[in-house]
Structure 1
Amino acid sequence: MRRHWTIGFTLIMVIALIAAACAAPTAPAPAAQAPAAGESAPAGEQPLRIVHFVNGVLGDKSFFDSAQRGVQRVADEFGAQTKTIEAGIDPTGWEAALIDTAANEEFDIMIVGTFQMVEYLERLAPQYPDKKFFLYDAPVNYEGEACAPNKCANVYSILYKQNEGSYLAGVYAAAMTTQDIEGMNPESIIGSVGGQEIPVILDFMVGYEQGARDTNPDIQVIRQFAGSWNDPAKGKELAKAQYSQGADIVFQIAGGTGQGVFEAAAEDGRYAIGVDSDQALIIESANPEQAARILTSMMKNVDNSIYRGVKLHLEGTLPYGTAEALGIAEGGVGLARNKYYEAITPDEVKALVDEAERKILNGEIIVETAFQ
C-alpha cells in the first residue's frame, strides 16, 4: 500500500513540474516611470517632495512670486508634495534658517534662489549627498574649494540671459519714448532703477542700454540704484526724479522696491517697464491705474525654468553638477506682449522689437553682458 502511495505522489509531482516548464514565462515588471503632466504618483509610491526656500518673502509680484508659480505648477501637474519656507528679509537669519530647513524637512529637492545663497548652499549641499538642490539666478562654484572635487554634484544651477530680454526692452523703450502718445515727451531720455549695483542687475542694464543705443544712438539713459529690494518709497523717489529729468519710461529692476516706480508712473502720467513677471497682468485687479502705465515687462521666467528642471529630473536627464544659462531661445527670458502692449504699441515698434528678437536668435545681434 505504501509503495502505491509513493508511486502516485511521484507521478503527481512529475506532472506538476512538466506543467510549470510548459507555462509561458512571466514578463518582468515594468520599470517605474515619472508621472506625466497632470498625473499623480502611482498608488503606494512616494510622490516627489520639494521644499522651496525663499530668502525673503512672497508677495513681490516679481521674482520670488514667479518662482512660487513654478513650484505650484509642479505640484499641480506632477503631483509633487511642496512646501515653501519664507526666511524673511533679514539676511543675518538666512543661513541658520537654511540649515534648519535641511535638517528638519523631508525633501527630495530643495529649491533656493539668488546670489546671496551661493556660499550657504556650497557649504550645505555636500552634507546631503543623497538630496538634490536647485539654485536659480546664480551658480555655485563647482571648481571652488567648497565644491571640488564633485562635492556639489547634487546641485543644478539655473542662470538667465537677462541681458537678451533686456535688450528687447531697450529697443522698445527707445522706440516708444518719442512716439506721439499721451505721457510721452519728444526728448530721447529713458531711465532704469536697480535694487542693488550687483552683476546680475548690471547685466539687465547693459542689455537695456545696448538695445536703446542700437535703436537711437543719441538716446540718454539714466541709471540709478535704490540699495534695497523692499523699499517702495525709495523706488518711487528715484522714478519721480528721473521723470522730472525728462525720462518718460523707467525700467524697474528692483523687486519689491519697484512697486514704487509704478506708483510714480501712475501719479506723474508717465510709464514703466516691469521685470521678472508680466507685472501689469499681476497687479491689474488690485490697481488698474498702475497696470495701465506698465507698457511691458522683461520677463525672467523663473517659473518655467523650475518646471523644466523638475520635469528633466523626473525623466532622469537633468544635468546636476552643472550650470545652465537660459535665454530667449530656451524660454528663459522674453518681453511681455500682453493686452496693454498690444493696445498702446504702434505696429512699427512691434515690428522693430520682433526683428531684434529674430536677430538675437539667429546670431546677428550679440548682446553685451556684465559677466566676463
Structure 2
Amino acid sequence: MNRRKFLTGVGTASGIALAGCTGGPTESGGDGGDGGSTPTSTPESTEAEATPTESGEGMGNETETDAETATSTSSDPINVGMVYATGGLGDGSFNDQAQQGIQQAESDLDISYNDAQPGSVSEFSNFQQQFASSTDPTYELICCIGFLQESALSETAPDFPDQRFMIVDSAVDAENVASYVFAEEEGSYLVGQLAGMLTTREFSAGAGSTTPDSTSVGFVGGVESPLIQKFQAGYEAGVAAANGDVEVQTSYVGDFNAPTAGREAALAMYNSGADVVYHAAGNTGTGVFQAAQEQGKFAIGVDRDQSITKESFADVILASMVKRVDTAVYSSVEAVVNDSFDGGSTTALGLDDEGISVAYGQQLGSEIPSEVTDAIAESRQSIIDGDTSVPTDPSNV
C-alpha cells in the first residue's frame, strides 16, 4: 500500500547538510534550501483508511464505534513522518541516506511513512507541528533529519509531550525525543590520512593524478558550525598524522545546496596546488566533484558511497566517509515498533559499531596502494581501541 505524500515548501531550494538493532538497512548505492513560504499541503495519507468515520460519519452507537476503532487500530500500520534537511531528496548524500533507512523500515517492519521537504530552516517548526497535530493518520514517530532542526524541535517537542520524535546530528533534551549523533571526526581522520598519504606521492588513477611536490589538500564545508567543524578537525588531524608538512586549505561556502559555490571553492584549492579535496557540504559537494574532473584531481565524498550515488564522478572519487544515517532512522522506527522507544536518550555512533566507515571508490579503490589502505586500517583499529584520540575542534589539531 503506497501511503506516502511528498510535502515541499514553496521556494528555491538552497540549504543544509549502527545502533544495535535486529535487521536494518544495508549500505548501497542530500541537504540545501531557502524560501520562506508555508507548506503546500498537510502531512496526511494519500489513501483512505478504514476508520469509524468512513462508515457512519462519526455517528451512531458508541459501543459499536469503539469496537470498530479497536479493529481498525489493530490492522493499521505504524505511521512515521519524515522531515528532511532543507533542500530535500536527490542529494546523493545526507537526505538520501536517511530515506534509505525509512524505505528499509517500510519493507521490513510494515510501517507507512510520509515525507516533508522544507525549503528553508524557517519551515522546520511548521512541518514538525503538522505531523504532530495530524489525526488522519496519527504519526507514532516523527524523524527530524539534520542539526539545523534542533532549535525548532526544542520548542515543538514540549508542546506535544505524547508525540515521539527522533533527531539526527543533534541532541535535544526532552523526554519524548531520541537523539542520534555520530563521531564524524573519526571517519574524517581516516580519509584525511588517505589524502595526506597520496598527496606526497605520485599517484594516478581514473581521471585524476597528484603532483607530489605540491603536498596540499583541501576541505570544503557547507554551513560553518560545530558539527561540520568535527569533519574538518578529524580531516586535518588525519592529514597531519600522515605527513605534518602537508597544507590543508579550508573553505566554508555557507550553504549545503550550492554546487556552483562548491565548484568555485574547490577550483581555487586545486589551482593552489591541492591534489585532493574532501567535502562535508551536502549537494554543494557535487560542485567539488565537478572541479576535480575539470582539473584532473581527486575528491572525497561524504555520508554515502558517492562513487555510487554520484556515479558520473566515480573516476575522481577516491573514497567516501560514510555516515549511517539510514541505520539511525531504521533503529528509531524499530524501537517504536517493538515498543522500546527510549525518549530522552542520546545514541552515539562511531567506527566501533560501524555507524561511521570509509568506503573506497568503486572505480578507484582498487588502485590505491595497499601500503596506504593498510595504514588506514591500522589507524581505524587504533581509534576503536582508544589509542588514538581524534579532535572535534579544528583549534585543537
Instruction: Flag whether TM exceeds 0.5 (same fold).
Output: yes
Partners of 1:139 and 1:300 in 2: CA distance: 17
The answer for the alignment partner of 1:357 in structure 2 is 380
Deviations 1:180-209 (A, max 9, x none): 223101121110000021100100010111
Report if the CA contact (8 A) 1:200-1:370 is conserved.
Answer: no
- TM-score, normalised to structure 2, is 0.77
Q: For 1:150-229, what aligned pairs fall within 5 Å after superposition? A: 152-182=174-204, 183-186=209-212, 187-229=214-256
- Is residue 66 of structure 2 the alignment partner of residue 66 of structure 1? no
Counterpart position of 2:170:
138
- Number of equivalent positions: 321
CA contact (8 A) 2:89 2:117 kept: yes
Partner in structure 2 of residue 370 of structure 1? 393
Separation in structure 2 between the aligned mates of residue 270 and residue 342 of structure 1, nearest angstrom: 15
Rounded Cα–Cα distance in structure 1 between residues aligned with 2:189 and 2:85 = 28
Aligned to 1:261: 288
Matched to 2:190, the amino acid is L
Q: Shift in Å at residue 54 of structure 1? A: 1.5
In structure 1, distance between residues paired with 2:366 and 2:230 = 29
Relative to the length of structure 1, the TM-score reads 0.82
Unaligned runs of 5+ in 1: 1-34, 143-151
Contact 1:36/1:78 (<8 A) preserved: no
Select which of 55, 62, 84 maps to 1:54. 84
Does structure 1 conserve the Cα–Cα contact (< 8 Å) formed by 2:219 and 2:277? yes
Letter in 1 for 2:270: Y
Displacement of 1:319: 2.7
In the TM superposition, what is the alpha-carbon distance from 1:341 to its structure 2 partner?
Answer: 4.4
Aligned positions of 1:56-135 closer than 5 A: 56=86, 57-88=88-119, 90-104=120-134, 106-135=138-167
- Which whole-Å CA distance do the structure 1 matches of 2:98 and 2:325 have between them? 5
Runs of 4+ in 1 over 4 A off after TM superposition: 35-38
Cα deviation, 1:61-102, whole Å, max 9, x if unaligned, reads 1111111111111101111111111122x2233322332232
Percent of paired sites with the same residue = 33
Q: Is the 8 A contact 1:193 1:239 kept in 2?
A: yes
Match of 2:258 among 187, 206, 231: 231
Flag the structure with more relative contact order, 1 or 2, with Cα contacts below 8 A and sequence separation at least 6: 2
Larger radius of gyration: 1
The match for 1:314 is 337
Partner residue of 1:20? none
Please say if residues 320 and 361 of structure 2, whose CA atoms lie closer than 8 Å, have aligned partners that are also in contact.
Answer: no
Task: Measure how far apart 1:241 and its partner are.
Answer: 0.4
Question: What SS does the aligned partner of 1:110 have?
Answer: strand
- 1:11 aligns with none
Q: Is the 8 A contact 2:314 2:364 kept in 1?
A: no
Give the Å deviation of 1:123.
1.6
What do the CA deviations read for 1:320-339 (whole angstroms, capped 9, x no partner)? 21212111112211111343
In structure 2, C-alpha distance between the alignment counterparts of 1:268 and 1:126, rounded to whole Å = 51
Structure 1 residue matching 2:353: 3-state secondary structure: coil
1:7-35 Cα deviation digits (max 9, x unpaired): xxxxxxxxxxxxxxxxxxxxxxxxxxxx9
**2:234–2:390 CA contact under 8 A, matched in 1:** yes
Three-state SS of the structure 1 residue aligned to 2:166 is: strand
Going from structure 1 to structure 2, the CA distance change for 1:168 and 1:37 (only over 3 Å counts) comes to closer
For residue 115 of structure 2, give the secondary structure of its aligned residue in structure 1: strand
Partner of 1:26: none
Q: Tell me by how many angstroms 1:318 deviates.
A: 4.0
Is residue 350 of structure 2 the alignment partner of residue 327 of structure 1? yes
CA contact (8 A) 1:272 1:294 kept: yes
Contact (CA 8 Å) 1:51, 1:84: kept in 2 or not?
yes
Partner Cα distance (1:275, 1:352) in 2: 21
Deviation at 1:364, TM superposition (A): 0.8
SS at match of 2:383: helix
Q: Does 1:240 align with 2:264?
A: no
Tell me which of 287, 298, 309 is aligned to 1:271: 298
Return the alpha-carbon distance in structure 1 between the equivalents of residues 325 and 240 of structure 2: 28
Amino acid across the alignment from 1:47: P
